[in-house]
């Protein structure tokens, strides 16, 4: 990993806690945190991810995610002032072939680390149910009802990318401590 910068990318399904963990880690590490959903949304005229899906479909959202990820990977590459930075990916981002390839190549080149937040189906269902309506359907079914099938489809990709697999069911303090130990 370059001495001037460390990059950490959090991957996992919707509801796994990537954004929450990313904010906590950024605070603990005194570094920057970005949520890819927020970055991708700035590339869209719609006000929310659900609005993008409704107005222009999933492919428009995936295109925005890929563009936002490319920009994040390419920005500030030689700036020694950046000690570390963290990015939480959208749950579907690793399923974009170009994104998967770019993340894998960047990780293999020792330029970033990928942390997969693994959660039980029960944890994901509970979290999604608590935020019902915030996330678009990916299959046409209710987002809470579809999570099992979505997770089964995506988990092998998450595992293939992961440098570290983290128990996303565990308390956030434990998750932060585990990643900090791994980071050193």
Q: In terms of C-beta density within 10 A (0-12 exposed, 13-18 middle, 19 or more buried), how is residue 175 classed?
A: buried
pTM, entire model: 0.88
* Closest residue by Cα to residue 53 from 121, 133, 147, 144: 133
**Whole-angstrom distance, CA of residue 65 vs CA of residue 68:** 5
Average pLDDT over residues 59-86: 83
Average pLDDT over residues 43-48: 94
Helices 97-108, 143-161: crossing angle, 10 deg rounding: 40
Query: Could you give the residue ranges of the DSSP H alpha helices within the chain?
Result: 18-29, 36-41, 49-56, 58-74, 97-108, 121-130, 143-161, 172-183
Q: What is the pLDDT of residue 6?
A: 78
Please, are residues 89 and 134 in contact by the beta-carbon 8 Å criterion? Answer: no
- Name the 3-class secondary structure at 67: helix
Q: What is the pLDDT of residue 77?
A: 52
Q: What is the pLDDT of residue 121?
A: 86
Digit-coded pLDDT (tens) for 111-163: 899 999 999 988 888 877 766 655 655 555 666 677 788 889 999 999 999 99
């Amino acid at each position: 990993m370059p001495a001037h910068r460390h990059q950490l990318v959090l991957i996992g399904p919707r509801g796994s806690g990537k954004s929450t963990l990313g904010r906590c880690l950024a605070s603990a590490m005194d570094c920057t945190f970005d949520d890819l959903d927020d970055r991708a949304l700035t590339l869209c005229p719609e006000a929310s991810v659900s609005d993008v899906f409704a107005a222009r479909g999933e492919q428009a959202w995936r295109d925005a995610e890929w563009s936002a990820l490319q920009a994040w990977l390419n920005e500030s590459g030689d700036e020694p002032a950046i000690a570390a930075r963290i990015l939480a990916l959208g749950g579907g981002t690793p399923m974009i072939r170009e994104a998967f390839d770019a993340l894998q190549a960047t990780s293999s080149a020792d330029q970033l680390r990928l942390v997969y937040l693994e959660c039980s189906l029960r944890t994901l269902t509970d979290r999604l149910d608590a935020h019902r309506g915030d996330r678009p359907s990916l299959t046409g079914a209710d987002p809470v009802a579809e999570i099992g099938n979505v997770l089964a489809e995506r988990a092998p990709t998450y595992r293939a990318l992961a440098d570290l697999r983290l128990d996303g069911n565990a308390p956030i303090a434990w998750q932060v401590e585990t990643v900090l130990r791994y980071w050193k």
